[in-house]
Structure 1
Amino acid sequence: MLAFYSPITPDNFWRKPLIGSIFTLICIFGVLAVFFSEKCSKFFYMHKTEKPMKLKAKNLDSHGFSFKFKGHHIDCGRFSTHVICINNHIICAACAGLLLGALITLVGNFFYFFVGFDIGQLGLPIILVGQIGILLGMIQFKFKGYLRLIVNTFFVISSFLVLVGMDTLSKSAFIDLYTLLLIIFWLLTRILISQWDHWRICYTCNLHCKMK
């Protein structure tokens, strides 16, 4: 609605470079968050409510089970759908998808905002496609392995598509800045949902391990 009913303003030459630069910074911070996910997660730490242990596993010492980490996921079967194996390396499927999506959108960002690539009359269709991708990204915990990677890649690309579509329809720096704020909100929401999913998995597990 904002794109269709935004006030008509002159198409300032600085609008696209400014918006493209801000989006580039968002992508760079996203890439850094992928490589330093453990440190970044501290900013979004979700306090857990201690679960009463109704069932105690037999033959356990007082310390319970201990797990090693593969990537930033513990080596536990309940997290097997969260990771993929590439060349015998275990990596987080979601983080790999977010990284791939960021790299792809950086290329698209360069061509649209700095080179001047025009999408013509496709503004509204790509916004609709972008909204589908964002919705899938919010429920990415429903997907497994490589499909989770694809969904997270599409999530980042979809955010870029919404930005491009809004810019094409409105040609307004104000609308673009508002869309950038929405993108940041979507990213933070997706992170919190992912952390909630991790907490839920551990909370519903009956094993007495050091992660509880």
Structure 2
Amino acid sequence: MTKGRFLSLEGGEGAGKSTQVRALAAALAERGIDTVVTREPGGSEGAEAIRALLMQGDTTRWSARAEALLFAAARADHVEKVIRPALDAGRWVICDRYIDSTRAYQGVAGGIDDAAILMLHGFGASGLLPDRTFLLTLPADVGAARAAARDGTAADRFARRDPGFHGAVTAAFDAFAVSDPERFRQIDATMPASAVTAAMLDALADLLP
């Protein structure tokens, strides 16, 4: 049996990741590819319990170090219970955020060394990385406006961070994509949703059966 492929979607607030995860899964299903759609933090029962701790409450509820540890614990369970079994069964996994979000939010924007975050990832998730990561790009202020229109007063504790924090996150993602062009593909998220999906499919041509 051919092992499945692991895809992740990354980007700042309001980039449309959740919408595009579903659209990409539907497009791959039309091509006969069995997909698993999941998210981080979350995706497994244990990880979803940790998600509630991470996403709710005041922005200062956890320090960046505590967040990094919680994300690593959630990811360890997620990979063990959902991602690896699906890949081993030949299914394609599409994940809304993964390790690069931790590297951007808790790492660059939170002030934690990238090597420390990757060390946690190596222990908790055996260093599993996606075959392809789509970075949905748009200006941080545009993303913030989209997120505010979407969430209103229900914004989570990360979305409520200040513009400087989100600017640092955007810059971090851009730097990751430049440093790892084999894994990353940058997709302009200011395009219409259908054009974003089409661009992702084009950028998957080398992996499609």
TM-score, with structure 1 as normaliser:
0.34
Tell which structure's C-alpha radius of gyration is larger: 1
- More strand per residue: 2
TM-score, with structure 2 as normaliser:
0.34
